[in-house]
Amino acid sequence: MKEAVSLPQRILQTKLLELHLQLESGNSYTRSLQHKMLDYLNLVGKALISVVFITGLSSTPVLSSEGDAALWNSLRSGEHFALLRHAIAPGNGDPPGFKLGSCRTQRNLSEEGRNQAVKIGKLFRENRIQTARVFSSQWCRCLETAKLLELGQVQALSFLNSFFNNYDYRESQTQKLAEWLHEQNPGQTLVLVTHQVNITALTNVYPGSGELVIIRRSKSGEFEVVGTIKTK
């Protein structure tokens, strides 16, 4: 199921590795390294001091001790939401010349990633979730992941788009996502296919490719992370 990894440790390890890879690759992404480092330190700080930020989410995930079965049960009830990082897409960020709507200009799913997305869809069905309300980032790797789940019609939402190359959008997009989630009523299972940066901004969880982060709305109206399901 899930590993009870220290959140600050996990964030530091993965984020610093990402920084190192970008420095090594000499990419031309427009986002400054200084902005990145400030963001990473902010994430770690939130995890350490357990402050609730604009999204209304508890900054420290509460990992379920009941196992994946309990998380699947909660998703079936329609009272919990699933945030899914797109399946495996080798690389980092997007290449120069990226254009929305043009998959050939983007970082896309590998064959392994497509197989992973299909597997995730099967996991839903094996856990008695045949259909769901599926929403996705407009990035091709997210849309393809969402479609390969075969859980229902996929609807794109712009506030699920990656802000990896422009962190100026982080706060506004995260706020829009939180507000949208507050408007959703319990019912059919809800699955949002998006990017690592979006999920981390909302939950402080750094998910792997194809990892599900399950959140719920508390009685006070805040969101809580109840656990993660790894699918690789």
CATH value at residue 25 = 3.40.50.1240
Q: Is 93 part of any domain?
A: yes
Q: Is 107 part of any domain?
A: yes
Residue with tokens 């699955």: 191
Confidence of residue 18 (pLDDT cuts 50, 70, 90): low
Q: Tell me which of 52-66, 133-147, 209-223 is least confident.
A: 52-66
| Mean pLDDT value across the chain | 80
Listed residue (61, 63, 64, 35) closest to 47, CA to CA: 61
Confidence of residue 175 (pLDDT cuts 50, 70, 90): very high
Q: Is 193 part of any domain?
A: yes
Q: Is 1 part of any domain?
A: no
Q: Is 2 part of any domain?
A: no
187 burial type by CB count under 10 A (0-12 exposed, 13-18 middle, 19+ buried): exposed
Q: Residue 222: what pLDDT?
A: 79
Q: Is 91 part of any domain?
A: yes
What's the average model confidence in pLDDT over 123-142? Answer: 97
Residues 6+ apart with CB under 8 A from 220: none
Question: In the Cβ-directed half-sphere of 177, how many Cα atoms lie within 13 Å?
Answer: 36
Range of the domain at 56: 7-229
CA distances from 230 to 17, 34, 116, 206, 212 (A): 20, 31, 11, 12, 6
Whether the predicted pLDDT of 188 surpasses 80: yes
Q: Is 168 part of any domain?
A: yes
Could you report the per-residue pLDDT of 27-76, keeping only the tens digit for each? 444 444 544 554 555 454 444 333 333 344 544 444 443 479 999 999 99
Q: What total number of domains does the chain contain?
A: 1
